[in-house]
Chain A
Amino acid sequence: MSQKLDVPSIIRKTLGYKGRVLFMPHHLAHAASAFFPSPFEEAAVLTIDGVGEWATGSYGVGKANEVRILKETDFPDSLGLLYSAFTYFCGFKVNSGEYKLMGLAPYGKPAYLDEIREHIATIRDDGSVALNLDYFGFLDSLAMISPRFEELFSGPRRLPESRITRREMDLAASIQAFTEEAMLKMARWVHKETGKNYLCMAGGVALNCVANGRILSNGPFDDIWIQPAAGDAGGALGAALAVQHGYHGLQREPIKVFDRQKGSYLGPAFSEQEIDAFLRFRNIPHTRLGTSERAMTVARALAEGHVVGFFSGRMEYGPRALGARSILGDSRREEMQKLMNLKIKYRESFRPFAPSVLIEHVSEYFETEHPTPYMLLVAPVQKSRCLARNNEVPEDSDLLLAVNQKRSDIPAVTHWDYSARIQTVDKQTNQFYHEVIRCFEELTGCAVIVNTSFNVRGEPIVCTPEEAYRCFMRTEIDYLYLEGFWLDKRDQPRVSDEAWKEEFTLD
């Protein structure tokens, strides 16, 4: 409470700033973050999240230098809070574990969809939802759900890190189906109301890349663009852009490659000199690579089945690693998903990894030609690459046994339902990362690698060389590429620090 009541002075003190502090409405900031960096000159804008002020969603129109919100939905009718309640009930952390629930959904069947519709929430024709608060705790307690929620789904919630059962898989599938239906209806309503051909999206719910894929393929819009930092972090960017264009009247920048987001590489970078100084100061064994051998060195290690920590250029803005602070692996290896999950990320292994694919080859591997540089769309793996498998997790089977079945010729990035959360990589946006994958293709004939964020369970993504080195040393990553420097784990001193594993809990 003491912090919430005095935000301007906290901002001034933290940033050492003496000027005026401007505030703007939560969803208008989301809307600005969706439209201003987008490639469109005119588009509909849709924001959906938990709640900001009292709004839980909004839609409007963006044109040139202005974003105008027309309508909003209010608390407690919130698709975001509904999804978070199920996230909590399935044993994941609210506000950060929602993506896990989405990853779990393909293993289950929407067996509880009727119960959700009948008791918990309804979807109106305009896509807005109405929650039955008898099943939620946030009105009169400090809990997400009420005891009636537990009664409806036959028992208490799953405890974090305990075994995932058929119930959680089916609940995940049910709420995911409900969310997709609501989002699709919302998109159709917004299209009807605004008459625009393009859609920009933001708000935490817009990180649901499966629903986004459905809006793109089954929705009424010619194209969609989603803010990579769609969650509340992106509100800062939206507020800054709104002030720049709306308050000060500055023109939008011209489009670079696909949009104005610059590949979302908006974070800090570290020069070779800085990294050299760090390595020398810490007396860390390393090899300095010549410019021409860098990409091939990384690609060769990947082709040999090694896992590489990859630190290059400006850090990504948003929750996804996009080839600046990433852990990379070989997508063709059957054991790679298990290895990276259990020995490097130290987390549950039902979650698939995302593929980075050269944009010029995307349709050879996936059933899409749409550029998705921010991993915000899901598409099926090409049928010719898939292996015929049973698509149902057997009753009472250990989920991990099912997960480890090989499902395509790029098994490390193929989900249970043969989908993948794709990152297309192009030369103009991230030349060096593109070159690494091109070299990998030259060596293996495969233009797809595994890309996961450079962090371990629950930790934030690494930002500085020191954080990258610490993460490298605490995990079983084989090599670390550090902006032109190559570190081999076998050359490093041994560390026996295990206490850090308790430092962060799982999402």
Chain B
Amino acid sequence: MTNRLRSAALRIILTTVYQAKAASVAFANFIEHLRAGLLAVVLSFVYYTIVTPMAWRTKQSGGNDVLTWKDYRNRIGWRANVQSTSDPEIYRTLQSPRGELLSLLHGRNKSVLVLYDLLMKFRFLAKPPKEKELSADLYVMF
């Protein structure tokens, strides 16, 4: 009687553990799908409603960096950019990344700020890539 009870209890525990594990894997997969789907929706929205109009405006104003980059024979070499370790202004405190971005924009191009604010709201959806081929410097840049 005791043995039968023990084996029944064990079977129940094992079944429960197995089902709980399967349920947790399924839940994790569901969450991952949800994350990836939401990210795709958010990025598509951002791409079509903010980035594309920004790119069009830049293209029309003739200030397209990419075109300058591609025209390699017309790029300049060394350009003046004086910076000194004795200049207190050179040391930024970066109290907030948003404030830093604001100061870099000098009040121009407000859409970059909108883009930043929007992406910050959804950054919990981001996940780093598994494989990296690019130079780490470029990952820091972009």
B interface residues, how many (CB within 8 angstroms): 39
Whether the pair B138, A50 counts as a contact (CB closer than 8 A) is: yes
Would you call A217 an interface residue if the criterion is a C-beta within 8 Å of the partner chain's C-beta atoms?
Answer: no
Cβ 8 A contact of A71, one of B81, B93, B136? B81
Whether the pair A66, B84 counts as a contact (CB closer than 8 A) is: yes
Whether the pair B93, A21 counts as a contact (CB closer than 8 A) is: yes
Whether the pair A70, B85 counts as a contact (CB closer than 8 A) is: no
Whether the pair A70, B80 counts as a contact (CB closer than 8 A) is: yes
Would you call A8 an interface residue if the criterion is a C-beta within 8 Å of the partner chain's C-beta atoms?
Answer: yes
Which of the 9-residue segments A240-248, A276-284, A412-420 touches chain B? Answer: A240-248
Whether the pair A23, B97 counts as a contact (CB closer than 8 A) is: no
Given A95-B137, A133-B72: A24 and B90 within 8 A (CB)? yes
Interface of B is mostly: mixed
Would you call B5 an interface residue if the criterion is a C-beta within 8 Å of the partner chain's C-beta atoms?
Answer: no
Closest to A138 in B: B138
Bound-state Cα–Cα, A226 to B78, Å: 21
- B114–chain A nearest beta-carbon distance, Å: 15
* Chain A residue contacts of B137, Cβ below 8 A: 49-52, 80-81, 95, 232
Would you call B119 an interface residue if the criterion is a C-beta within 8 Å of the partner chain's C-beta atoms?
Answer: yes
User: Interface 1/0s, chain B 124-142, versus A by CB < 8 A?
Assistant: 1010010001111110110
Given A5-B123, A126-B78: A25 and B138 within 8 A (CB)? no
Whether the pair B135, A94 counts as a contact (CB closer than 8 A) is: yes
> Would you list which residues of chain A between 236 and 285 have a CB under 8 Å from chain B?
242-243, 245-247
Whether the pair A28, B72 counts as a contact (CB closer than 8 A) is: no
Whether the pair A70, B82 counts as a contact (CB closer than 8 A) is: yes
* Chain B residue contacts of A50, Cβ below 8 A: 135, 137-138
Tally of A-B Cβ pairs under 8 angstroms: 145
> Would you list which residues of chain A between 1 and 44 have a CB under 8 Å from chain B?
1-2, 4-8, 20-25, 28, 32
Interface size class of A (residues with CB under 8 A): 35 or more
Would you call A130 an interface residue if the criterion is a C-beta within 8 Å of the partner chain's C-beta atoms?
Answer: yes
Listed A/B pairs (20) with beta-carbon separation below 8 Å: A1-B126, A28-B90, A51-B138, A59-B78, A69-B84, A72-B78, A76-B69, A77-B77, A80-B135, A81-B135, A94-B135, A94-B136, A122-B73, A126-B77, A133-B72, A138-B138, A139-B66, A142-B129, A144-B135, A246-B86
- B139–chain A nearest beta-carbon distance, Å: 9
Would you call B108 an interface residue if the criterion is a C-beta within 8 Å of the partner chain's C-beta atoms?
Answer: no
- A241–chain B nearest beta-carbon distance, Å: 8
Would you call A356 an interface residue if the criterion is a C-beta within 8 Å of the partner chain's C-beta atoms?
Answer: no
Bound-state Cα–Cα, A66 to B86, Å: 6
Given A23-B93, A28-B90, A80-B137: A128 and B72 within 8 A (CB)? no
Would you call A132 an interface residue if the criterion is a C-beta within 8 Å of the partner chain's C-beta atoms?
Answer: yes
- B79–chain A nearest beta-carbon distance, Å: 6
Would you call B1 an interface residue if the criterion is a C-beta within 8 Å of the partner chain's C-beta atoms?
Answer: no
Closest to A71 in B: B78
Would you call A179 an interface residue if the criterion is a C-beta within 8 Å of the partner chain's C-beta atoms?
Answer: no
- A60–chain B nearest beta-carbon distance, Å: 8
- A117–chain B nearest beta-carbon distance, Å: 13
Closest to B126 in A: A1
- B118–chain A nearest beta-carbon distance, Å: 13
- A7–chain B nearest beta-carbon distance, Å: 7
Closest to B141 in A: A51
Would you call B88 an interface residue if the criterion is a C-beta within 8 Å of the partner chain's C-beta atoms?
Answer: yes
Binding site for B on A (CB under 8 A): 1-2, 4-8, 20-25, 28, 32, 49-55, 58-60, 65-77, 80-81, 84, 88, 94-95, 122, 124, 126-128, 130-134, 138-139, 142-144, 189, 232, 242-243, 245-247
Binding site for A on B (CB under 8 A): 66, 69-70, 72-73, 75, 77-88, 90-95, 97, 119-120, 123-124, 126, 129, 133-138, 140-141
Whether the pair A94, B72 counts as a contact (CB closer than 8 A) is: no
Closest to B131 in A: A142
Given A23-B94, A25-B90: A66 and B133 within 8 A (CB)? no
Whether the pair B77, A124 counts as a contact (CB closer than 8 A) is: yes
Whether the pair A8, B95 counts as a contact (CB closer than 8 A) is: yes
* Chain A residue contacts of B123, Cβ below 8 A: 1-2, 5
Bound-state Cα–Cα, A214 to B138, Å: 29
Contacts A51-B137, A51-B138 known; 15 new A-B pairs at CB < 8 A: A1-B123, A8-B95, A49-B137, A68-B82, A70-B82, A71-B80, A71-B81, A84-B135, A95-B136, A126-B78, A130-B72, A138-B135, A246-B87, A246-B90, A247-B85
Given A7-B94, A71-B78, A72-B79: A142 and B134 within 8 A (CB)? yes
A-B pairs, top 7 by smallest CB distance, nearest first, are A246-B85, A128-B77, A50-B137, A71-B78, A242-B85, A22-B91, A68-B84
- B73–chain A nearest beta-carbon distance, Å: 7
* Chain B residue contacts of A21, Cβ below 8 A: 93-94
Closest to B93 in A: A20
Bound-state Cα–Cα, A73 to B94, Å: 25
Closest to A83 in B: B135
- A127–chain B nearest beta-carbon distance, Å: 8
Given A71-B79, A247-B91: A138 and B85 within 8 A (CB)? no
Given A50-B137, A131-B72, A138-B138: A5 and B120 within 8 A (CB)? yes
Bound-state Cα–Cα, A4 to B85, Å: 24
Bound-state Cα–Cα, A77 to B87, Å: 27
Bound-state Cα–Cα, A337 to B73, Å: 45
* Chain B residue contacts of A54, Cβ below 8 A: 141
Whether the pair B85, A28 counts as a contact (CB closer than 8 A) is: yes
Bound-state Cα–Cα, A144 to B134, Å: 5
* Chain A residue contacts of B66, Cβ below 8 A: 139
* Chain A residue contacts of B78, Cβ below 8 A: 59, 71-73, 126, 128, 189
- B101–chain A nearest beta-carbon distance, Å: 10
* Chain A residue contacts of B81, Cβ below 8 A: 55, 58, 69-72
Whether the pair B134, A68 counts as a contact (CB closer than 8 A) is: no
Whether the pair A130, B75 counts as a contact (CB closer than 8 A) is: yes
Closest to B69 in A: A76
